[in-house]
Amino acid sequence: ASQDAQNGEVIFKKCSACHAVGDGAKNKTGPVLTGVVGRAAGSVDGYKYGSGMQQAGANGLIWDEAHLTAYLEDPRAFLRAYLDDPKAKAKMTFKLKDSQDRRDVVAYLAGFSTH
Ligand code: HEM
């Protein structure tokens, strides 16, 4: 199915309790998401990631659209599978259940770059 960044903007309201995006965005409970598409996992300066996300970044995880949609479905299951570690920890407990909403919010995030 195609992606709808406008619906993604609406869906992002669920994320904005913990994340900011756009110019001048600051870390909150979660890291800034400006430029996240194409970025190395766990790489925002000044944000204290969990051990699982730090390990995923060290192992070379880059947030492309496929990895992001899989992460958003179930962050802990994603990290455990990616790291092949059934005990890996995830700091983000929020899950976005609807697959179209996942694609749309990723399309919305893809519209923000760090220049
Ligand atoms: C991490 C996206 C909702 C808390 C992340 C990361 C992404 C992301 C892409 C990894 C960033 C990186 O590696 O720099 C989203 C999106 C959301 C959402 C698109 C909505 C659909 C939430 C909510 C919370 C939250 C509602 C808080 C209740 C966190 C935390 C981390 C994180 C604490 C750090 C994870 C770790 O270190 O293991 N999020 N998030 N997120 N998010 Fe979210």
* CA angle at 22 for the pair 6 and 19, rounded to the nearest 5°: 85
**Residue range of the domain that includes 18:** 5-110
Number of neighbouring beta carbons within 10 Å of residue 64: 12
**pLDDT (0 to 100) of residue 25:** 96
The string of DSSP letters for 27-79 reads --SS---TT-TTPBTT--TT----HHHHHHHHTT-B--HHHHHHHHH-HHHHH
CA of 1 to the centre of ligand 1 (A): 24
Residue whose CA lies nearest to ligand 1 atom number 26: 15
* CA angle at 40 for the pair 43 and 87, rounded to the nearest 5°: 80
Residue 51 domain-assigned?
yes
**pLDDT (0 to 100) of residue 99:** 97
The CATH number of whichever domain residue 69 belongs to comes to 1.10.760.10
CA of 19 to the centre of ligand 1 (A): 7
ipTM metric: 0.99
Span 31-43, average pLDDT? 98
104: part of which helix (H) or strand (E)? helix 99-110
Number of folded domains in the chain?
1
Residue 47 pLDDT level (bands cut at 50, 70, 90): very high
Span 16-30, average pLDDT? 97
* 3-class DSSP state of 101: helix
**pLDDT (0 to 100) of residue 1:** 63
Residue 44 domain-assigned?
yes
Residue 97 domain-assigned?
yes
Span 34-38, average pLDDT? 97
Residues with Cβ within 6 A of ligand 1?
14-15, 17-19, 29-31, 33, 36, 41-42, 44, 49-50, 52-53, 63, 68, 72, 90-92, 94, 96, 105
End-to-end CA distance of the chain: 29
112 or 114: which carries more pLDDT confidence?
112
Residue-wise pLDDT for 68-92, tens only, equals 999 999 999 999 999 999 999 999 9
Residue 20 has pLDDT above 80, yes or no: yes
